[in-house]
């Protein structure tokens, strides 16, 4: 179990670092309003500690990995200690049709500047994908 958790942590870390580096090169676009609505709903779930529900909104290809407990643990360790958000400002949207390690498709990356109870300045990034005809959150970085 310990090795599994270490592998999960390493995978999350590498994917987040990789996504952060890759996202900076994608063009800034006007955000899709349906994607904004999806991200807003998803973030509100995370804000209120509904971590299992946030996982259930991921695309099937991500949920099929069976990492729900790891996801919940990750959010409890990284997000929960920050407390509730005091403000969240949308900064930009970026778009690509190709993403390393993921199938080609439609991806939007939303960056927010957020102030939490226990962290005054933070940046959040929500990754959305349109795999099943509608936008779904497929990643989150704090």
Domain spans of the chain, in order of start: 2-141
Specify the CATH number of the domain 2-141.
3.10.450.590
Q: What are the mean pLDDT values of the chain's consecutive 10-residue runs (142 residues total)?
A: 45 45 74 96 97 95 92 96 97 93 92 97 96 93 93
pTM confidence score: 0.82
Closest-CA residue to 139 (of 33, 59, 25, 50): 59
Closest CA to 50 of 77, 78, 70, 80: 80
Q: What confidence score (pLDDT) does residue 10 get?
A: 39
pLDDT at 17: 40
Distant-in-sequence, close-in-space partners of 109: CB < 8 Å, separation ≥ 6 = 19, 23, 26, 93, 94, 95, 96, 125, 126, 127, 128
């Amino acid at each position: 179990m310990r090795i599994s958790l270490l592998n999960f942590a390493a995978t999350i870390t590498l994917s987040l670092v990789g996504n952060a580096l890759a996202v900076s090169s994608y063009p800034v676009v006007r955000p899709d309003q349906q994607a904004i609505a999806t991200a807003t709903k998803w973030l509100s779930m995370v804000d209120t500690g509904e971590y299992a529900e946030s996982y259930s909104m991921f695309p099937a290809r991500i949920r099929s990995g069976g990492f729900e407990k790891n996801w919940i643990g990750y959010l409890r360790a990284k997000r929960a200690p920050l407390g509730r958000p005091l403000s969240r400002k949308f900064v930009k949207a970026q778009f690509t049709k190709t993403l390393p390690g993921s199938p080609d498709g439609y991806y939007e990356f939303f960056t927010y500047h957020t102030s939490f109870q226990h962290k005054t300045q933070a940046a959040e990034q929500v990754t959305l994908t349109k795999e099943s005809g509608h936008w779904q959150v497929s990643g989150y970085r704090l």
